[in-house]
A and B are shown apart, each in its own frame.
Chain A
Amino acid sequence: MSLLELKDISKIYGELKALDNVSIHVDKGEWVAIMGPSGSGKSTMMNIIGCMDKPSKGQVFLDGVDISKESSRKLTEIRRDKIGLIFQQFHMVNYLTAVENIMVSQYYHSLPDEEEALEALGRVGLRDRAKHLPSQLSGGEQQRVCVARALINHPELILADEPTGNLDEANENIVLDLFRQLHREGTTLIVVTHDPEVAEAAQRTIVLEHGRVAREIINENFQE
């Protein structure tokens, strides 16, 4: 069953077609990687899927509902309820501690629950860093907090844009293991990456070039 469907999506900046008639679909529970050279439109696509931007043309179906024409208020609600986001640059709120960063997400979603936030931190192996500020955490640790923050409200879809771009090998593996767990639990994952190893962890890879889907690769070796 399809969770996400992009139908003939274009995003045009003046002369430039950042996305040019892109159509893809992602099933519920699927784990998809998105690759492509710099400037090929990956982040543009993430913005549209993540309800942070609207397409110039085309339709976006999330859970069967067309969200391409929704108001930004409605998009905020959808993002809050259904989507967890992870960024290359982490984007933690720098004056809040690790656990508070997770609780902010709970707060805007429903109600902050410190116990639950601490559990999520435990899940990414950082329970003992709960009271640390972002500046007191390593890049890998910050990204793990961000994973905990993305999954705290049990989103149907986790979107990650270069989640391992700033991480060393060890932290990259920790994050990938977390993704595997989320996948096993039924969460849908869309991960933008330049790293073939990260792409190989997914079930399917979509390759963008010049704003178009160049090809799709099914990962024969995918292991549950």
Chain B
Amino acid sequence: MDFRKLPIRNLVRRPGRTATLVLLVLLLSFTMFGGALTLLSIRGGTKSLEGRLGADVIVVPSEMASKVNLDNVLLMGTTGSYYMKADILDQIRAVEGVEKASAQLFMASLRASCCSVAVQVIGFDPEEDFTVQPWITRSFKRGLGDMEVLVGSRVSTEVGGNIRIYEKDCRVAGRLESTGTQMDTAVYATIDTVRTLIKAAEDLGHDLKLPGDPSELVSAVYVKVSDGASADNAAGYINGHIRRTEAIRTKNMLTDVSDSMAGVSFVMTILIAAVWLLVFFLILIAFLMILRERKKEFASLRVLGASSGMLSSMVFRETAIISFTGGLAGIALACLIVFPFSALIEKMLDLPFLRPAAGTIAGLAVGTLVMCMITGIIASAWSAYKLGHVDVSMILREE
């Protein structure tokens, strides 16, 4: 037999105790890994959101602003079909402090025979856009041609295939990386393409209640102010001087998001700390309890020539096996829950949720495992020391 496997023999011989300890560590690793993963996903979602919201001010038609929850529209990427005159863009560009302004045009396809999928179509200006363009450039390098679309990560149509919108075929030129928002379910095209599609819809008899010819309409204008200029002033000016528009400061929205993120972070951190403490003390107590029962066994091994170091390391190896097994199981369980149900978690927390890169997840898993092992080893350190240094002379006086 292999005596390096003595710790395993010990663990197998007491299945109840071993299972309890493994479950405790599982609880710890599940909370740590699951919690950290959720936090990182939210942080990732918010980060990508901040990047996309490179705009300081968003201008939308005023009737739009009063109708829907703008936070949702702009943060989660939900769009609607609302329109204003395209010349507003020039007026905005003329406002003092405005460095860049670019327009987007939205429309929606229908779940009907004219369209292969019901999606939001977002038209942007590849030359001027600074909100979605940087994100798009990451996965799609060349320019977007006429009647070409890019699909969000959750749109099922394959790259190279066609999407039919109001009986017009649009070629899918590429797929965009995931953002964790509803932008992932949308389709992106040039403003001109979207105008063609809007015309096609009208030709098919759909009344989109357009306030003018599609070629003269936009849905939203994204504004970046120059360094040193005040976004509040620019928004105020637009609200005061450009009719039938509503200018919204994006910072306020982001503050809301960071506030709720801070709240979730705080709760998570407290939860992880509480579980850690609980598990630490339970393991500590479990080992103190077995300290008494195992004194004799260790004294016997000591008498047979085992050194204190050998015995302490035997206890540590038992702990390491328990921590490793429990840690791994907890991580696996967290993966099984967090990944398939990320949409549900996103809904519950009402925050954008973007799964971190595989490398980050792997790092997180390793970190969690290490934490579990350290916790187990610290919690059993006292018992390991005591068992290693058990008083051998008592063995002759034991009854």
Contacts and interface: CB of A to CB of B under 8 A. Distances in A.
Contacts of A95: 9-10, 13
A79 B9 CA distance: 26
A2 interface: no
A112 interface: yes
B285 interface: no
Contact of B308 (A43, A73, A85, A112): A73
B296 interface: yes
Interface string B310-331: 1000000000000000000000
Contact of A103 (B1, B9, B393, B397): B1
Given A95-B10, A108-B306, A52 B300 contact: no
Interface string A172-203: 00000000000000000000000000000000
Q: Report the interface size class on chain A.
A: 20 to 34
Contact of A104 (B304, B392, B395, B397): B304
A11 to B, nearest CB: 10
B396 A87 contact: yes
A79 B304 CA distance: 8
A141 interface: no
B310 A108 contact: yes
B314 to A, nearest CB: 11
A205 interface: no
A28 interface: no
B277 to A, nearest CB: 33
A135 interface: no
A83 B305 CA distance: 10
B305 A108 contact: yes
A197 B303 CA distance: 28
Residue among B301, B302, B310, B393 with the highest chain A CB neighbour number at 10 A: B393
A93 B3 contact: no
Interface in A79-110: 79-80, 85, 87, 89, 91-96, 100, 103-105, 107-109
B238 to A, nearest CB: 80
A114 B10 CA distance: 21
Nearest to A54: B393
Contacts, number: 67
A10 B392 CA distance: 19
Given A52-B395, A73-B307, A103-B3, A91 B296 contact: yes
Contacts of A100: 1
Contact of B304 (A73, A105, A114, A161): A105
B3 A104 contact: yes
A76 B302 contact: yes
A47 interface: yes
Residues of B contacting A: mostly: helix
A50 B305 CA distance: 11
Residue of B297, B303, B395 ringed by the most chain A CB atoms within 10 A: B303
A91 B395 contact: yes
A49 to B, nearest CB: 11
A24 B18 CA distance: 49
Given A95-B10, A107-B3, A52 B304 contact: no
Contacts of B296: 91
Contacts of B299: 91
Contact of A91 (B1, B300, B393, B399): B300
B398 interface: yes
A9 B10 CA distance: 40
Contacts of B307: 73, 76-77
A130 to B, nearest CB: 12
A80 B305 contact: yes
Nearest to A91: B300
A46 interface: yes
Contacts of B310: 108
B300 A93 contact: yes
A91 B306 CA distance: 14
Contacts of A109: 305
Contacts of B1: 100, 103, 112, 114
A149 interface: yes
A53 interface: yes
B12 to A, nearest CB: 9
A94 B9 CA distance: 11
Interface of B: 1, 3, 9-10, 13, 296-297, 299-308, 310, 392-393, 395-399
> Top 8 nearest A-B pairs by Cβ distance?
A80-B305, A108-B305, A53-B393, A43-B396, A47-B393, A52-B392, A107-B3, A91-B300
13 contacts: A43-B396, A43-B397, A47-B396, A52-B303, A52-B393, A53-B393, A72-B308, A73-B307, A76-B306, A76-B308, A85-B303, A91-B299, A93-B301
